Structure 1
Amino acid sequence: MAGSTHTVTNQPPPLTGHDVYGTDRALVAAVERHVGPELRDEAHGDLSALGRSAGSAQLQEWAAQANEFPPRLRTHDRYGNRIDEVDFHPAWHRLLGKGVGAGLTAAWTRPAGHVRRAAGFLVWTQVEAGNGCPLSMTHAAVPALRADPELAAVWEPRLTSTVYDRELRPARLKAGALLGMGMTEKQGGSDVRAATTVATPLAEDGTYTLSGHKWFCSAPMSDGFLVLARTRPAGEDGDLTCFLVPRVLEDGGRNPFLLQRLKDKLGNRSNASGEVEFDGTWARRVGEEGRGVRTIIGMVAATRLDCVLGSAGLMRQAVAQAIHHCTHRAAFGGKLVDKPLMRNVLADLAVESEAATTLALRLAAAYDDGGERERALLRIAVPAAKYWVTKRCTPVVVEAAECLGGNGYVEESGMPRLIRESPLNSIWEGAGNVQALDVVRALQREPAALNAYLQEVGAARGADHRLDAAIKGLLTELADLSGVEARARRLAERFALVLQGALLVRFAPPEIADAFCASRLGGDGGAAFGALSPGPDLATIVERAAPSS
């Protein structure tokens, strides 16, 4: 029994029993904006159902369990046979099953599929980010596989299925399948052209055996993997080729896929990442020989957008938790949310979160459009957004945790898990320098990309003088690209900020757009959050970002 001195007061209730989607006004507005009227009711209904599930106490418990009991590698069975399997806690399978069932791998097969799937992915990340990895790669593999219509005919219906089939068996016998990816090797890292894995052709056209390794194999429990390998030894003429490596062969036998160990990661602990060796491993070529990087680049672009979405989801969850805490917690004679300085911090965080969400959904809409101009916009906007939004995630999450005080440093609050998760998307699929240099590459090689970007931000010209000045400043920087590599990060940051500002000026409430342009483009802000110009609009900003429970 609790003693009389242990009466619990002034503690916020758990943030459960709410609609994670429906209470995110920025996200709902983005879906409203980018989904046609004939599909909006259906989209809102599906996303609200997912949001209510995401906000339930049951799923939050599953998320905690999936991280408390991380995956375990089993290299051999009891008899000494090599099996190379990964065991997961049942909570992981329940969460992944719900993600697949919600259509988070099915964007390619339904109208407005990318916006609806992006909104769902952003919601689902707020439950448990680890299972986003297999969902992301399975979704992103579809355009790469379409380089081989025969392969796509077998795999695409299973990759876009809403059935989670966890059993290892040949793809043709499965109702649904997941796909992973293996690109980097020990000696290469982001420099995938340094790969040494060799593919040796077999008698059947398009089939090979692989010999080599992958230093990072994402989601090694998947049904198949897209990998890069050489059809000629390193140092000889020829480039990398893309291959599909099935986990189980057509006759039901296991393909040699030797899991050496699982990575012991800072965060993302519910999800397995492994080191894998290929030794006579059967593979099917995808696309043209020697054009592997070009074949797989569509997958990389899609997963980079998921990095933006994942970071936006983590930001949103962190901000929601901070505002919820401060709304219920009293200190120094009143609610924390009403204290001017705390309100400033919360409003600043909310502005950053809405900017990330608005940008991410705009890029998803470009995928749905598919037109030439939209494809050109993606070419420069995706790496810029991936660079900037993923880098902003960690300071947002850490600041939000500080709003909870000491409680935010305790595992039970859930905030430490968000903190550990927050740097991942900046590193995965090419770290900051890779993204910044990709922006430069687009500038130098693809004039249509810059034109599409300038048309997009130009639609907001004249609406805010700070945005106009920022566009002019960006054009001045672009006038001289000498020595551009050394300032590639600055350019990527400016591309992202100007695009966010233009989107907010056009579509966000005036107080959001004004606060963003003043603090991010006009210099009326600080290095730390909470330095916005004070005023009554800050309360409106916080209220817009508040979740309900």
Structure 2
Amino acid sequence: MPAVGATHEVTNQVPPLAGYDPVAGDAALAEACVRHADEATLASLADLGRLAGSEQAREWGRLADENRPVLRTHDRYGHRVDEVEFHPAWHELMRTAFAHGLAGAPWAAAEAGNRHAHVRRAVGYLAWTQVEAGHGCPVTMTYAAVPALRAAPELAARYGPGLTGTGYAFGLTDPAAKPGLVAGMGMTEKQGGSDVRSNTTRAVAAGDGTYALTGHKWFTSAPMSDLFLVLARLDEGVSCFLVPRVLPDGSRNVFRLQRLKDKLGDRANASSEVEFDGTTGWLVGDPGRGVPTILEMVNATRLDCVIGSAATVRAALTQALHHARHRRAFGALLADQPLMQNVLADLAVESEAATALAVRLAAAVDGGETAFLRLAGAAAKFLVCKRTPAVVGEAMEVLGGNGYVEDSGLPRLYRQAPLNSIWEGSGNVIALDVLRALGRSGEALAAVTAELELARGADPRYDDALKRLAAELGDPGALPLRARRIAGLLALCLQGSLLLRHGPTEVAHAFCASRLGGDWGSVLGTLPHDTPVGALVERSTIAPV
């Protein structure tokens, strides 16, 4: 007699995705790591890679996303506390990221002589944030705060050791007693958005070296961070201030959390509205120079927008490949069917191009290539982040209806996908920033041009793309109208240069034929007929460990 409720046998369902290494098992990422660093750097990420592909880590990611942070404005007695509670899984993700040097640690490591500290960190960040992207926000801001704080040497000496520490200790306590500090930033206001020069928050000197800030911030992510870089207005203009949650005397600073944002994605991370009312801050940099000062932080967070989007693309590709290798339809595995191979191969090309460019940008940090990073980083932020939603959507279609169900993990990636294109400057802001980088001095363009020239002659389609780029840049009329074209083509050429010089022939050929040569439809999965799609799929498949 059949068991009660047994209606059918479950077949043709894909096994859970776990037990793989997204660092060493990802050929494109591992090769980029060795290319811009060395084998020892790759080996140093072995433990993180195995954890990132484990069932335990995937469960942490799910729990952190499903159990959103909770705002506690007051305690049971009516005292204002302005705290945010997170699920234990969030703390495991944060603890792991800090312990493996993904936050501020690379700056200290570089000063100690590690020439590849930022490449190591980028590779680890790209792998680890595939587990869950939301906690990457405070990890990123902590990383980015270190160079910005150098504009105030006394503050850097006080808080720098904590910001570059590898410990994670949640809670509002004396920063000096913590093994590591988390940093955030407060720029955006209700009336301004990206136009931070219209901010109305004011700062008044208190006469003891500190300033009292009064105003509001419309988006302040990770409000439980230990300290923040904040923009406020002095008579000299918009200025930058360091605002700690706990003051040196152990008392809590005024940091009133009005509410947490109900966001499309990034749900594990708390984003808040904050009111300042006599909030204590210390000036960072010169009065009236707040925007250039905090741009040191913004440029670093934009780097992580590229790395994080490359991580989202890779995570979606991994899900799609895993499904196609185990799911059968019409008498064959999906992975063996020509049209599906075309889709998977196109996704793989997109992932490899994004990964190659992201790690190259990190190498520019290691190499002190400021001019190159200023232009290449902005162009990469525009294109890689802008492409991510379409890539994740196509990966979801590989799974069909199963991909539309929360259990698959693809809906979480899909909700997350647009974020990096919006955060720290949406598409138009970044495209115009590319123009600013081009026009400010010739150094940035010269540095990027030198990179592009390294691949000239390797493929006629690439050479034609360089000619088109030169024509765009050579016509100064109505540049703002064409800013997106220029930013996108510049990033594509950078990706093409990297793949032609360092990638396998089949990857470079597919990229040039589709992204640069024009033989590409408006959707993914339309690679030319002579593309070795099987080889591309095989290269991008991560084997179990």
Q: Which residue of 1 aligns with 2:372?
A: 377
1:424 aligns with 2:419: yes
Structure 2 Cα separation of the partners of residues 151 and 31 of structure 1: 33
Q: Which residue of 2 aligns with 1:235?
A: none
Structure 2 Cα separation of the partners of residues 542 and 174 of structure 1: 46
Amino acid aligned to 1:158: G
Q: Which residue of 1 aligns with 2:385?
A: 390
Encode CA deviations 1:82-115: one digit per residue, 9 max, x unaligned: 0000000111111111111110011212211110
Question: Do the aligned partners of 2:506 and 2:531 also contact (CA within 8 Å) in 1?
Answer: no
Q: 2:192 aligns with which of 183, 188, 194?
A: 188
Amino acid aligned to 2:536: I
Q: 2:262 aligns with which of 261, 264, 276?
A: 264
Q: How far off is 1:45 after superposition?
A: 2.3
Question: Do the aligned partners of 2:510 and 2:531 also contact (CA within 8 Å) in 1?
Answer: no
Q: How far off is 1:251 after superposition?
A: 1.5
Amino acid aligned to 2:187: M
Question: Do the aligned partners of 1:344 and 1:534 also contact (CA within 8 Å) in 2?
Answer: no
- 3-state DSSP of counterpart to 1:404: helix
Structure 1 Cα separation of the partners of residues 99 and 310 of structure 2: 22
Question: Do the aligned partners of 2:317 and 2:348 also contact (CA within 8 Å) in 1?
Answer: yes
- 3-state DSSP of counterpart to 1:67: helix
Structure 1 Cα separation of the partners of residues 311 and 319 of structure 2: 12
- 3-state DSSP of counterpart to 2:232: strand
Q: Which residue of 2 aligns with 1:482?
A: 477
- 3-state DSSP of counterpart to 1:261: strand
Q: 1:114 aligns with which of 115, 118, 135?
A: 118
Structure 2 Cα separation of the partners of residues 471 and 275 of structure 1: 45
Structure 2 Cα separation of the partners of residues 86 and 6 of structure 1: 46
Q: Which residue of 1 aligns with 2:130?
A: 126
Structure 2 Cα separation of the partners of residues 222 and 478 of structure 1: 42
Amino acid aligned to 2:526: A
Q: How far off is 1:534 after superposition?
A: 2.4
After superposing on structure 2, the runs of 4+ consecutive aligned residues of structure 1 that deviate more than 3 Å are 1-5
Q: How far off is 1:536 after superposition?
A: 6.2
Question: Do the aligned partners of 2:98 and 2:166 also contact (CA within 8 Å) in 1?
Answer: yes
Q: Which residue of 1 aligns with 2:302?
A: 304
- 3-state DSSP of counterpart to 1:58: helix
Structure 1 Cα separation of the partners of residues 254 and 519 of structure 2: 58
Encode CA deviations 1:272-294: one digit per residue, 9 max, x unaligned: 00000000100011111111111
Question: Do the aligned partners of 2:171 and 2:224 also contact (CA within 8 Å) in 1?
Answer: no
Q: 1:524 aligns with which of 506, 512, 519?
A: 519
Encode CA deviations 1:45-100: one digit per residue, 9 max, x unaligned: 23221111011111111111111110000000000000000000111111111111
Q: Which residue of 2 aligns with 1:137?
A: 141
Structure 2 Cα separation of the partners of residues 2 and 363 of structure 1: 59
Q: Which residue of 2 aligns with 1:9?
A: 11
- How many residues align? The count is 536
- 3-state DSSP of counterpart to 1:181: strand
Q: Which residue of 2 aligns with 1:147?
A: 151
Question: Do the aligned partners of 2:18 and 2:54 also contact (CA within 8 Å) in 1?
Answer: yes
Question: Do the aligned partners of 2:432 and 2:483 also contact (CA within 8 Å) in 1?
Answer: yes
Q: 1:209 aligns with which of 187, 208, 212?
A: 212
Amino acid aligned to 1:322: A
Structure 1 Cα separation of the partners of residues 429 and 413 of structure 2: 24
Structure 1 residues 243 and 406: CA distance shift in structure 2, 3 A: same
Structure 1 Cα separation of the partners of residues 191 and 414 of structure 2: 29
Q: How far off is 1:9 after superposition?
A: 1.3
Encode CA deviations 1:452-481: one digit per residue, 9 max, x unaligned: 111001000010000001001111111111
Structure 1 Cα separation of the partners of residues 497 and 5 of structure 2: 57
Q: Which residue of 2 aligns with 1:50?
A: 48
TM-align CA RMSD: 1.0
Q: How far off is 1:125 after superposition?
A: 1.2
Q: Which residue of 2 aligns with 1:448?
A: 443
Question: Do the aligned partners of 1:25 and 1:545 also contact (CA within 8 Å) in 2?
Answer: yes
Amino acid aligned to 1:104: L
Question: Do the aligned partners of 2:126 and 2:310 also contact (CA within 8 Å) in 1?
Answer: yes
- 3-state DSSP of counterpart to 1:176: coil
Amino acid aligned to 1:478: L
Question: Do the aligned partners of 1:154 and 1:171 also contact (CA within 8 Å) in 2?
Answer: no
Q: Which residue of 2 aligns with 1:34?
A: 36
Encode CA deviations 1:11-41: one digit per residue, 9 max, x unaligned: 11111011111111000000000014xxx32
Amino acid aligned to 2:291: V
Q: 1:358 aligns with which of 345, 356, 359?
A: 356
Structure 1 Cα separation of the partners of residues 534 and 476 of structure 2: 43
1:497 aligns with 2:492: yes
- 3-state DSSP of counterpart to 2:282: strand
Amino acid aligned to 2:217: K
**Which structure 1 segments of 5+ residues have no match?**
233-237
- 3-state DSSP of counterpart to 2:45: helix
Alignment of 1:69-88 (within 5 A): 69-88=67-86
Structure 1 residues 536 and 334: CA distance shift in structure 2, 3 A: farther
Q: Which residue of 2 aligns with 1:159?
A: 163
Q: Which residue of 2 aligns with 1:171?
A: 175
- 3-state DSSP of counterpart to 1:547: coil
Amino acid aligned to 2:37: V
Encode CA deviations 1:358-416: one digit per residue, 9 max, x unaligned: 0000010000001xxx2111111111000000011000001001000111001000000
- 3-state DSSP of counterpart to 1:429: coil
Structure 1 residues 334 and 109: CA distance shift in structure 2, 3 A: same
Q: How far off is 1:6 after superposition?
A: 2.1
**Which structure 2 segments of 5+ residues have no match?**
none
Question: Do the aligned partners of 2:71 and 2:82 also contact (CA within 8 Å) in 1?
Answer: yes
Question: Do the aligned partners of 1:114 and 1:367 also contact (CA within 8 Å) in 2?
Answer: yes
Structure 2 Cα separation of the partners of residues 282 and 2 of structure 1: 66
- 3-state DSSP of counterpart to 2:44: helix
Q: Which residue of 2 aligns with 1:200?
A: 204
Q: 2:230 aligns with which of 227, 230, 239?
A: 227
Q: Which residue of 2 aligns with 1:282?
A: 280
Structure 1 Cα separation of the partners of residues 129 and 534 of structure 2: 27
Structure 2 Cα separation of the partners of residues 531 and 439 of structure 1: 30
Structure 2 Cα separation of the partners of residues 483 and 46 of structure 1: 49
Q: Which residue of 1 aligns with 2:452?
A: 457
Q: How far off is 1:153 after superposition?
A: 1.0
- 3-state DSSP of counterpart to 1:284: strand
